[in-house]
Structure 1
Amino acid sequence: MANPNKQKGTAWESRVRDYLNWYLGMTDEYGKVLNPFDGLNVRRPAQEGSRDVGDVHAAPFVLECKDVARPTVPSFLRQAEVEAMHAGFPYGVAVVKRRRANVRAGSVHFTIRTWTRVRLVLGLSSRECADLYGFSFSLRGLDTGRWYATHDLFDFGSLLDDIRIHARTVTAGTGAQGF
């Protein structure tokens, strides 16, 4: 891989995947995935065809991972949502690396629409969701398309685990898929 920016991006995607698999208990103490056939493993999908399906899949989320000096969050979020649709996942979010910080401090950004859909699935009020998962909000101007909610990758791991537990609870005994 000759392109240094591509190398940085791939390394960030791999660190995000590995961290979330560790956080969710999907790996052993050496970082090896316990069950490679488990559909809940966080994965870096192979890109095929003209429709990008995102950098990392953490069902039910597609993560668009960015390691850039000057993040443009609204454009990253638009990209994440399109890629989630291509991949057949309900939610797309952007994960931006923080300079000189541990992977768990990476910023995870949600559009307000996606954040609202997730909190409603969990049955939480706006305040409960913001407090429970450490969200802060960027409300820029009157254009709600530029508004977003942010927390760190550690809090995202907690939210991801909770939404997966909720999906299993809701579908228990029905034979229906949770996502």
Structure 2
Amino acid sequence: MANPNKARGTAWESAVRDFLNGYLGLVDERGAFRNPLSGENVRRAAQEGARDVGDVHAAPFILECKDVRNPAVPTWLRQARVEAAHAGFPYGVVVHKRRGLGIHAGRVHVDVRTWSRIRLALGLPARDMFERYGFAASLRGLDTGRWYLTTDVAGFAALLSDVRAGVARAVR
């Protein structure tokens, strides 16, 4: 790949995909899908141009993966919402790589409205949602459109598993 930034982004998308597939038990010890035709498999999406559908599909989530030094989370979250709508998925989130750290240190950002919809779908009070999945709030000024919640990739993997199961499991 000629563009080093593109290569770095592709590597991050692949790392996120591989981690989630492993966490969910969708791959064997060699990393091959247990059921290659399953809609539950986490996959990197093909680029769609103007109607982009996100970087990684982890139904019911679209993941917009970012490997950049300077975060622009509110902008990225707007992009994730649009791409989730293009793909027909209910939730769009951002997975931001932290430089020099592995997949576990990645940050998953969710806008307040999406976080609330997920919480209600799981039937969880806000406090339980924060505690179970390790969320922290980023409240940027008075503009609530810039507010978001953040967890790590492992916390998101647990959330994804619970959303797919349709239930919130006991606190780990």
Task: Indicate the TM-score class for this superposition, using the shorter chain for normalisation.
Answer: over 0.9
Following TM superposition, by how much is the alpha carbon of 1:48 offset from its aligned partner in structure 2, in angstroms?
3.0
Instruction: Answer with 26-35 or 116-125: which moved more.
Output: 26-35
- How much identity, in percent, do the aligned residues show? 65
Write the mapping of 1:66-77 to structure 2, written as runs, cut at 5 A. Answer: 66-77=66-77
Q: Name the residue aligned to 1:21.
A: 21
SS at match of 2:44: coil
Farther off after superposition, 96-105 or 128-137 = 96-105
Aligned to 1:32, what secondary structure does the other structure show?
coil
Structure 2 letter corresponding to 1:106: G
Report matched runs for 1:59-138 at 5 Å. Answer: 59-138=59-138
The 3 A distance-change label for structure 1 pair 49 and 71 is closer
**Equivalent residue letter for 2:47:** Q
Q: Which residue is 1:158 aligned to?
A: 158
What is the RMSD of the two structures over their aligned residues, measured on CA atoms? 0.9
Structure 2 SS opposite 1:50: helix
Q: Give the secondary structure class of the aligned counterpart of 2:149.
A: strand
Report the Cα offset of residue 102 of structure 1.
1.6
CA spacing shift, 1:24–1:74, aligned 2, 3 Å: same
Match of 1:7 in 2: 7
Q: TM-score, normalised by structure 2?
A: 0.95
Aligned amino acid, residue 24 of structure 2: L
> What is the aligned residue count?
167
Q: Is the partner of 2:70 in helix, strand or coil?
A: coil
Unmatched 5+ stretches in structure 1? 168-179
For residues 34-79 of structure 1, give each alpha carbon's deviation from its aligned partner in whole angstroms, at most 9, with x where no partner exists. 1110000000111235300000000000000000001110011000
Q: Give the Cα separation in 2 of the matches to 1:64 and 1:92.
A: 7
Q: Structure 1 residue 31: deviation in Å?
A: 1.3
Shift of 1:90: 0.2
1:77 and 1:161 mapped to 2: Cα distance?
21
Q: Deviating runs (4+, > 4 A) in structure 1?
A: none
Name the SS for the 2:15 alignment partner: helix
With normalisation by structure 1, the TM-score equals 0.91
Structure 1, residues 109-164: CA drift from partner, whole Å, max 9, x if none?
A: 00000000000000001101001110000011110000000000001000000000
Give the letter aligned to residue 36 of structure 1: P
Give the AA of the match of 2:97. Answer: K
Q: What is the letter of the counterpart of residue 89 of structure 2? A: F
Secondary structure of 2:10's counterpart equals helix
